[in-house]
Chains A and B, each alone.
Chain A
Amino acid sequence: MTDIMNATVLLSNFVIIPVLAYGSQLALGALGVTLVYGILRFANFAHGDLMAFGTMITILVTWWLQSIGVSFGPLPTALLALPVAIVFTIAMALFTDRAVYRFYRRKRSTPAIFVIASIGVMFVLNGIVRFIIGPNDQQFADGERFIIKARSFKHMTGLNEGLAFKVSQGLTIGIVFVLVISLFWFLQNTRTGKAMRAYSDNEDLALLSGIDPEKVVMVTWIITAALATIAGTLYGLDKSFKPFTYFQLLLPFFAAAIVGGIGKPVGAIIGGFVVAFSEISITYAYKKFLKYLVPENWAPEGLVQFLSTDYKFAVSFLILVLVLLIRPMGILKGRVI
């Protein structure tokens, strides 16, 4: 019995809790990608760098708050800085829309042109972030680190395996939960939310019904920028901030959005967790886990790891390919490709 408990705790510690936290972060990012795809109808390659931009502002404001001695008790100071960062990021997103995308929208350019334009925006944002904060790793988490420490968990339960639950993980799961619920309430019940869904469903019909496209697009950017900043900050608190890593997160975001069914917000959330679960469970070494469960002489010799951890991004892409082959519309019947 203790062995089973130990195995469960081990798996929770190294797979389930990280999947919940990482999956929530991916879900927020994929929501941004999917909203832009649903309303503006292009795959936004600049999303990762928009996230990096927002997180950079959070970090700068956090540093300033720390320097004047403000703190948020046991919670990270970054949460206080977040609203300011969201405002800046929204301004940036609206500015890029005004300066870049609106022109192509009026011309009704093909999606490929939009994507190339977003590559341009990606370069610009990437340059700005590296210019201001540099290309290196930044740690900005402060306050308490753990909700449950591994050692006190062992002490409490008397098990061999410890369970650590970081504040950043708890915060991520909590904040994402609240955000997702309010986003769905907004999309389902408010006038603007309904207008957005109508516009996403059928642009011409929505225009005929008197929906102002510019307003819909503006609200989309506001939501996307806010989600990107929050996702970026939570990811940065959980791991660390590095501009290049944020750029690379683009791939799991796309994978999550497409797996769930692109253009469908619920799909993005499901997709986020599917991708996170596959990435972590396929690259986890099950040796210790199996040792608890099987008789001693059956214990495996190798690490029992399907793929090395460096293949993380490859896993998200493999899922993407599988979905494209088997069910191209994604789990929730998004737009047909």
Chain B
Amino acid sequence: MNNVQRSVLSFALIACLLLIVGLFQSWSLMLSILNLCLISSVMALGVNIQWGYAGLFNVGTMGFAALGGVAAVLVSKGPVPEAWAVGGWNLIIAAFLFMLTVTLAIITYRRIKRGTLRLLVLSGTIILGIFATRYFSDPAIADIEAVNPALTGYLGGIGLPILFSWIVGGVFAAGAAWVIGKIALGLRSDYLAIATLGISEIIIAILKNEDWLTRGVKNVAGLPRPVPYEIDLQKSDWFINLTEWLNSNSLYGLSSIEREDLLSSSVTEFSGIYVKLCYTGLFAAVLVIILTMSVMALNSPWGRMMRAIRDNETSAAAMGKNITGRHLQVFIIGSAVIGIAGAMLTTLDGQLTPGTYNPLRFTFLIWVMVIVGGSGNNLGSVLGGFLIWLTWIEAEPVGVWLIDGATGWLGGTNPIRLHLMDAAQHMRLFMMGLVLLFVMRFNPGGILPEVTKVGKLSN
């Protein structure tokens, strides 16, 4: 079976699975799953750009996704003028001092030769800088967080449409990736993994604690939507007419009261589905754009160079390629894609909840998607995103259903049965691990393996 047949077959399978969910559970649930599948696919594409193209082992996906979430808050929420008034200047001075410290530290590090003198000057600069920064930032933060803490207590954002945050999220993640890459790239692959894992934990820790920025664990809820609200839809005439037209078959021949009832309930139901469909359209558009760009990049001379570097760094360096520079570049691009996906996710949720970022779900699950889908193959990552997210979500109801069936003979109140029913949701972790291990062992290329074109000369 070649890759084209495989792709068609696997995507047809996913379509069937989604149909089954729609028919047997509900269409609304199917669309929720589909939306998250699309976002997961974008994240998986980001990881694939780093790992599949260039062999960079980044397990900090969670951190970049969270930065995208921050962008969603900072772009879409309106500013809090009181907070700016009480703490704005102090905070700006603190930020300036912080930058100054970093710049001075870098200059010291570069200008003075290695030795005791450098160590002394460097530590002196950093310690002085920290005290100076905190002298301004501590009161600023206290003042800002004291402004109506139950509702705001943070600086707010700039109040633009939330769609802009998708781009800003990418920029935030790219900026962080630049800093991280400068520090950590060039480490051995598994060290890079440890370093990025740590950085992502730090980003989450900052989000949880810096209340002035994103309200910390108090969460920012009620982000404005890029799509209509259900309530507005239910009141607008065109939407009611549309629902009436769609349901004209079942509405036909009913008495006027029954007709009113059925129509209003279908309008309520359809408004939810309509909103989700709007999201699906937006996410699918982003996915198609990023996928197209990724495919084009991979097939370009740049993509060939990346793969050459991945497969043999020494020989690529001998051909005059700047390994560190290319690595930094691909690290930034991949992280930006993850940041965009993170902003999309927060947009869909309508809120930023730093407490829910968990490396198992936001980092390692994405890795399972990439490996299972086929590392190095963009379409494979999309496929992995769909397949793994579907499995991850549906493992719980299916697990409960299986255990219910298998232990039915034990009777309704049997403690073992109750424990198993309760614990069925954790089987999905177990399943994910098994899927990952089996694919790695018996099908290391993934479902859609990387396509390596054979050049004319070697034929």
- Whether, in the assembled complex, A209 has its beta carbon less than 8 Å from a beta carbon of chain B, the answer is no
Interface SS of chain B: helix, strand, loop or mixed? helix
* B191 / chain A contacts, CB cutoff of 8 Å: 43, 258, 324, 337
Whether B441 and A317, one on each chain, are in contact in the complex, defined by CB atoms closer than 8 angstroms, is: no
A124 touches B430 (CB 8 A): yes
Partner of B430, one of A116, A123, A250, A254: A123
Q: In the complex, which residue of chain B has the Cβ closest to the Cβ of A309?
A: B209
Decide: A127 near B426, CB < 8 A? Known: A122-B364, A311-B209. Answer: yes
Report whether A116 and B440 are in contact in the complex, using a CB–CB cutoff of 8 Å. yes
B374 within 8 A of A: no
Determine how close the nearest CB of chain A comes to the CB of B72; give it in whole angstroms: 23
Flag whether B17 is at the interface (Cβ < 8 A). Answer: no
Q: How far is the CB of B407 from chain A (nearest CB, A)?
A: 14
Contacts of B339 in A (CB 8 A): none
Within the complex, which residue of B190, B195, B198, B437 is in contact with A124, where a contact is CB–CB below 8 Å?
A: B437
Tell whether, in the assembled complex, residue B423 and residue A324 are in contact, meaning their CB atoms are under 8 Å apart: no
Give the residue of A121, A251, A321, A337 whose beta carbon is less than 8 angstroms from that of B201.
A251
A308: contacting residue among B209, B364, B426, CB under 8 A:
B209
B55 at the interface (CB under 8 A from A): yes
Kindly state whether residue A126 has any CB partner on chain B within 8 Å.
Answer: yes
Contact B360 A126 (CB under 8 A): yes
Cβ of A147 under 8 Å from chain B: no
Instruction: Tell me which of A113, A121, A302 contacts B433 (CB under 8 A).
Output: A121
- Interface of A (DSSP majority class): helix
Residues A275-310 near B (CB distance < 8 A)? 302, 308, 310
Closest-by-CB residue of B relative to A43 is B190
A314 in the interface, Cβ–Cβ < 8 Å?
A: yes
Given contacts A116-B367, A116-B436, A123-B432, contact A131 B190 (CB under 8 A): no
Q: In the assembled complex, how far is the CB of residue B208 from the closest CB belonging to chain A, in whole angstroms?
A: 6
- In B186-203, the 8 Å CB interface with A consists of 187-191, 193-195, 197-199, 201-202
User: What is the CB-to-nearest-CB distance from B167 to chain A, in angstroms, rounded to a whole number?
Assistant: 28
Are A131's CB and B187's CB within 8 A? no
| A132 contacts the other chain (CB 8 A) | yes
Q: Are A123 and B201 in contact (CB-based, < 8 A)?
A: no
Q: In whole angstroms, how far apart are the Cα atoms of A119 and B184 in the complex? A: 21
- Nearest CB of B to A306, in Å: 9
Q: B431 at the A/B interface (Cβ < 8 Å)?
A: yes
Contacts A111-B188, A131-B423, A337-B188 known; A258 to B432 CB distance under 8 Å? no
- Distance of A211 from chain B, by nearest CB (Å): 24
Q: Which of A45-93 contact B (CB under 8 A)?
A: 45
Residue B132 at the A interface, CB < 8 A? no
Query: In the bound complex, what is the Cα–Cα distance between A44 and B12 (angstroms)?
Result: 37
Say whether B187 contacts A337, CB under 8 Å.
Answer: yes
Is B223 interfacial (CB 8 A cutoff)? no
- By beta carbon, the residue of chain A nearest B201 is A313
Query: Is A115 among interface residues, defined by CB-CB distance under 8 A?
Result: yes
B371 at the interface (CB under 8 A from A): yes
Q: Does B258 belong to the interface (CB within 8 Å)? A: no
What is the bound-complex CA distance between A118 and B292, given in angstroms? Answer: 33
Q: Does A141 contact B (CB under 8 A)?
A: no
Give the Cβ gap from B365 to chain A, nearest Cβ, in Å. Answer: 9
Q: Is B104 an interface residue (CB 8 A)?
A: no
B429 interface residue (CB < 8 Å to A): yes
Cβ contact within 8 Å between B194 and A254: yes
Is A208's beta carbon under 8 Å from chain B?
no
> Given A119-B367, A127-B433, A134-B423, is A316 in contact with B428 using a C-beta cutoff of 8 Å?
no
Q: How far is the CA of A115 from the CA of B440 in the complex (A)?
A: 12
A-side contacts of B188, CB under 8 Å: 111, 337
- Within B157-201, the residues touching A (CB, 8 Å) are 183-184, 187-191, 193-195, 197-199, 201
B434 interface residue per 8 A CB criterion: yes
Residue B427, interface by CB 8 Å: yes
- Name the B residues within 8 Å of A43 (CB-CB): 190-191, 193-194
The 0/1 profile, CB within 8 Å of A marked 1, for residues 390-425 of chain B is 000000000000000000000000000000001100
Complex CA–CA separation, A310 to B355 (angstroms): 12
Known interface pairs A43-B190, A112-B57, A324-B191; A131-B437 also in contact (CB < 8 Å): no
Check A130–B194 contact: CB distance below 8 A.
no
Q: Are B433 and A132 in contact (CB under 8 A)?
A: no
| B349, CB-defined interface residue at 8 Å | no
**Smallest beta-carbon distance A241→chain B, Å:** 16
- Total chain A interface residues with beta-carbon distance under 8 A: 50
Given contacts A131-B426, A131-B427, contact A310 B190 (CB under 8 A): no
* Nearest neighbor of B436 in chain A, beta-carbon distance: A120
In the complex formed, the residue of B with least CB distance to A243 is B426
Which of A117, A302, A311, A318 lies in contact with B138, CB distance below 8 A?
A: A302
Smallest CB gap from B198: residue in A: A317
Q: Are B183 and A258 in contact (CB under 8 A)?
A: no
Q: Write the A326-337 contact mask toward B (1 if CB under 8 angstroms, else 0).
A: 000000000001
Q: What is the CA–CA distance of A120 and B440 in the complex, to the nearest angstrom?
A: 9
A127 and B201 contact, Cβ closer than 8 Å, known pairs A43-B193, A43-B194: no
Q: Which residue of B lies closest to A110 (CB)?
A: B189
B205 within 8 A of A: yes
- A178 at interface (Cβ–Cβ under 8 A)? no
- Asked whether any CB of chain B lies closer than 8 Å to the CB of A180, the reply is no
CB atoms of B430 and A128 under 8 A apart: yes
Nearest CB in chain B: distance from A264 CB, A? 16
Give complex CA distance A121, B440 in Å.
12
Q: How far is the CB of A314 from chain B (nearest CB, A)?
A: 4
| B195 in contact with A314 (CB, 8 Å) | no
Is the pair A310, B201 in contact by a Cβ cutoff of 8 Å?
no
Q: How many angstroms between the C-alpha atoms of A60 and B404 in the bound complex?
A: 25
Is the Cβ of A127 less than 8 Å from the Cβ of B57?
A: no
A119's nearest neighbour on chain B, judged by CB, is B364
User: How far is the CB of A11 from the nearest CB of chain B, in Å?
Assistant: 21
> Could you pull out 17 A-B pairs where Cβ atoms are within 8 angstroms?
A111-B190, A117-B437, A119-B436, A121-B437, A122-B433, A123-B429, A123-B432, A128-B430, A130-B426, A244-B358, A255-B198, A313-B205, A314-B205, A314-B206, A324-B187, A324-B195, A337-B187
Please list the residues of chain A having a beta carbon within 8 angstroms of any beta carbon in chain B.
42-43, 45, 100, 103, 110-117, 119-128, 130-132, 134-135, 244, 247-248, 250-251, 254-255, 258, 302, 308, 310-311, 313-314, 316-318, 320-321, 324-325, 337
6 nearest A-B pairs in the assembled complex, by CB-CB distance: A127-B430, A123-B433, A317-B198, A124-B433, A127-B429, A130-B426
Given contacts A113-B440, A119-B367, list 16 more A-B pairs with CB under 8 A: A100-B437, A114-B190, A115-B189, A115-B190, A116-B371, A127-B428, A127-B430, A132-B423, A247-B360, A250-B197, A254-B197, A302-B138, A313-B198, A314-B206, A320-B198, A321-B183
